[in-house]
Amino acid sequence: MHMAGAFPGLDVLIARVGQLCGTSGNGAWNAKEWFPALVQASQAMGCFPTQDKPASWIPVSAAASVLVDLTLSSSKPKDSIVHLVHPQPVMFSSLASRFASTLDVPLVTYDAWLSKLAALSDDASSIPRVQPNGDGNDYSSIRALQLLPYFRGLALNADSGDSFGLPSLDCSQLKLCSKVVLSTEMESLGQADVVKWVVYWRQVGLLR
Q: Which CATH number goes with the domain that contains 199?
A: 3.40.50.720
- Residue 130 reports pLDDT greater than 80: no
What pTM, to 2 d.p., does this model score?
0.88
**Residue 191 located in a structural domain:** yes
Report which of 65, 3, 18, 86 is spatially closest to residue 73, judged by C-alpha positions.
65
- Write the CA distances from 67 to 2, 63, 131, 179, integer angstroms: 17, 6, 51, 11
Check residue 132 and give its pLDDT: 42
Within a domain: 166: yes
- Residue 168 falls inside a structural domain: yes
Beta bridge partners of 82: 15
Task: Check whether 38 has a pLDDT greater than 90.
Answer: yes
Residue 172 inside a domain? The answer is yes
pLDDT band at 75 (very low <50, low <70, confident <90, very high): confident
- The mean predicted confidence, pLDDT, of the chain is 88
pLDDT in tens, 158-185: 888 999 999 999 999 999 888 888 876 6
pLDDT at 128 over 70: no
Is 100 a domain residue? yes
Count of domains in the chain?
A: 1
Domain with 102 in it? 12-121+138-203
> Does residue 85 lie within any of the structural domains?
yes
Q: How far is CA 73 from CA 79, 170, 174, in A?
A: 15, 19, 11
Residue 208 lies in a domain: no
Q: Do the strands 90-91 and 54-55 form a parallel or antiparallel pair, or are they unpaired? A: antiparallel
CA dist 202 and 128 (Å) reads: 27
The answer to whether position 2 is within a domain reads no
How many other C-beta atoms are found inside a 10 Å radius of the C-beta of residue 22?
26
Backbone φ, ψ for residue 100 (5° rounding) = -60, -45
